[in-house]
Amino acid sequence: MAVRTATPTTGWLMRGKDGRLTAYAPAEGGLLRWTETRPGGPEWSGPEQLVVPGLEPCLSISQTSKGYVYLTGVRTRTADDGRTITEVVYATQFQSGRAPTPWRSIGTPYGQDWDRAAKIGAPTAVVDATGLRVFIRNAGGGVCGRAQDAKGVWGPWTDMKGSNVLDTLSAAADENGRVELLALTDGFVQSWRQEQPGGELRRVRNIAAKPLAGSSAVAPVGGGRLAHFWRAAADGRLFVHTPDPAADPDAEARPGPAPLGSLAHGGTGPVAVLRTPIDGQDCTVLAQRAASGLPAVAAYPTGESPALAEWSETGEECVGAPALALDAQGLIVLAALGADGALRVARQRAGERGLSLGHWVRA
> Based on the domain organization, do 340 and 251 belong to the same domain?
no
CA 35, distance to chain mean position in Å, is: 19
Tell me, what's the pLDDT at 255? 56
The answer as to whether 32 is a domain residue is yes
> Based on the domain organization, do 210 and 309 belong to the same domain?
no
Who has greater pLDDT, 252 or 194?
A: 194
The answer as to whether 4 is a domain residue is no
The answer as to whether 296 is a domain residue is yes
Q: Report the CATH number at residue 201.
A: 2.120.10.10
> Based on the domain organization, do 18 and 77 belong to the same domain?
yes
Tell me, what's the pLDDT at 251? 62
The answer as to whether 6 is a domain residue is no
**Confidence label for 302 from pLDDT (cuts 50, 70 and 90):** confident
Query: What region, left, alpha or beta, does residue 7 occupy, with left being phi > 0 and alpha being psi -120 to 50 degrees?
Result: beta
> Based on the domain organization, do 273 and 221 belong to the same domain?
no
The answer as to whether 332 is a domain residue is yes
Tell me, what's the pLDDT at 131? 95
Is residue 37 over pLDDT 60?
Answer: yes
The answer as to whether 358 is a domain residue is yes
Query: pLDDT, tens digit, for every residue of 212-251?
Result: 999 999 999 888 889 999 999 988 888 999 887 776 666 6
Tell me, what's the pLDDT at 2? 46
The answer as to whether 3 is a domain residue is no
- Report the chain's mean pLDDT, rounded to a whole number: 91
The answer as to whether 290 is a domain residue is yes
> Based on the domain organization, do 40 and 80 belong to the same domain?
yes
Domain assignment of residue 190, given as a range: 13-268
Is residue 170 over pLDDT 60?
Answer: yes
> Based on the domain organization, do 87 and 50 belong to the same domain?
yes
> Based on the domain organization, do 263 and 228 belong to the same domain?
yes
Tell me, what's the pLDDT at 48? 96
What mean pLDDT is predicted for residues 297-303? 89
Tell me, what's the pLDDT at 1? 36
> Based on the domain organization, do 241 and 343 belong to the same domain?
no
Tell me, what's the pLDDT at 4? 72
> Based on the domain organization, do 225 and 305 belong to the same domain?
no
Is residue 7 over pLDDT 80?
Answer: no
Is residue 260 over pLDDT 70?
Answer: no
Among 224, 242, 268, where does a domain finish? 268
Domain count across the chain: 2
> Based on the domain organization, do 257 and 350 belong to the same domain?
no
CB 243 within 8 A of CB 227: no
Residue 1: count other Cβ atoms within 10 Å of its Cβ: 11
> Based on the domain organization, do 354 and 231 belong to the same domain?
no
Residues 105, 86: Cα–Cα separation, whole Å: 10
Tell me, what's the pLDDT at 243? 85
Query: pLDDT, tens digit, for every residue of 108-130?
Result: 999 999 999 999 999 999 999 99
> Based on the domain organization, do 101 and 188 belong to the same domain?
yes
Among 212, 239, 268, where does a domain finish? 268
Which residues have CB under 8 Å from 92's CB, separation 6+?
A: 68, 69, 70, 71, 100, 101
> Percent of the chain at pLDDT above 90?
77
Tell me, what's the pLDDT at 308? 72
pTM of this structure: 0.94
Residues 363, 349: Cα–Cα separation, whole Å: 18
Tell me, what's the pLDDT at 264? 52
Among 229, 252, 268, where does a domain finish? 268
